[in-house]
């Protein structure tokens, strides 16, 4: 019997991966990796390791979750060390729990290695503290992938109302519905909103707007995946604390030298 490591690779910046996660990559016989995993991390795998792409796009799955589960079981039962490499954190909208359940059912040894999740990484690199004394004492992580089903779920509206800051994952497709939910929660429509695309990478872009204008702004600015949506007064810190994008704007990418 082999072993499976369910690993969070963190966001796009490869330097944000943990040491323990890196060790899991280095000793793996098989690596099953997702779309948002930085491919630079795969260079640390053994030359003989099998690299299997499991990437998913909105409304299009390269590999179904059931197939991924079968691969994890198959290779582990063959005595392989398997690293299941996921962007962000495997237990935060990463389906890591589903995969761990299958491994338990098959009595396969496994470990879960957490990673830097997209909300904290995107907000930090966009100069937006998720919490801030006297401004935000709470933060809610919400999936926007199911937003079309939320309209009858009052508990979600209550969560949005209760949290000072709301971080929405996978919400680009359903921005109008998310806007409606936020308004129904009673938040001031002038509450600032940030769309953070390709966080922690050279392509990072942050667009700020308000709850009232968020659907219109998303359309006008062609907001696309991958994107984190941050809603709350803390977004106002973006202009002041936006260290990363200011730093990137001063780099000549043909030479890699700061200007």
- 56 classed as catalytic: yes
Please tell me which residue in 3, 13, 29, 34 is annotated as part of the active site.
34
Please tell me which residue in 56, 106, 173, 216 is annotated as part of the active site.
56
Please tell me which residue in 86, 89, 160, 170 is annotated as part of the active site.
170
The position carrying tokens 């994952």 is 169
Mind telling me the catalytic residues?
34, 56, 170
């Amino acid at each position: 019997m082999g072993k499976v490591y369910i690993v969070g690779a963190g966001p796009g910046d490869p330097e944000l991966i943990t040491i323990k996660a890196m060790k899991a990559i280095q000793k793996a016989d098989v690596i099953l990796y997702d779309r948002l995993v930085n491919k630079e991390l795969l260079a640390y795998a053994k030359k003989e390791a099998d690299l299997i792409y499991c990437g998913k796009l909105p409304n299009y799955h390269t590999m179904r979750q059931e197939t991924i589960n079968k691969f994890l079981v198959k290779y582990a039962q063959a005595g392989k060390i398997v690293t299941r490499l996921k962007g962000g954190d495997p237990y935060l909208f990463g389906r890591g729990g589903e995969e761990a359940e299958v491994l338990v059912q098959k009595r396969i040894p496994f470990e879960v290695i957490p990673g830097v999740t997209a909300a904290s990484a995107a907000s930090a690199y966009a100069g937006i503290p998720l919490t801030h004394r006297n401004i935000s004492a709470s933060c809610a992580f919400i999936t926007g992938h199911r937003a079309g089903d939320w309209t009858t779920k009052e508990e979600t509206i209550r969560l949005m109302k209760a949290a000072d800051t709301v971080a929405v994952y996978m919400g680009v497709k359903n921005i109008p519905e998310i806007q409606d939910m936020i308004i129904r929660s009673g938040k001031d429509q002038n509450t600032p909103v940030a769309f953070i695309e390709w966080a922690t990478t050279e392509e990072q872009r942050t667009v700020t707007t308000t709850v009232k204008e968020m659907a219109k702004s998303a359309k006008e600015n062609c907001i696309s995946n991958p994107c984190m949506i941050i809603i709350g007064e803390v977004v106002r810190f973006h202009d002041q604390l936006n260290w990363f994008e200011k730093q990137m704007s001063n780099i000549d990418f043909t030479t890699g030298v700061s200007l």
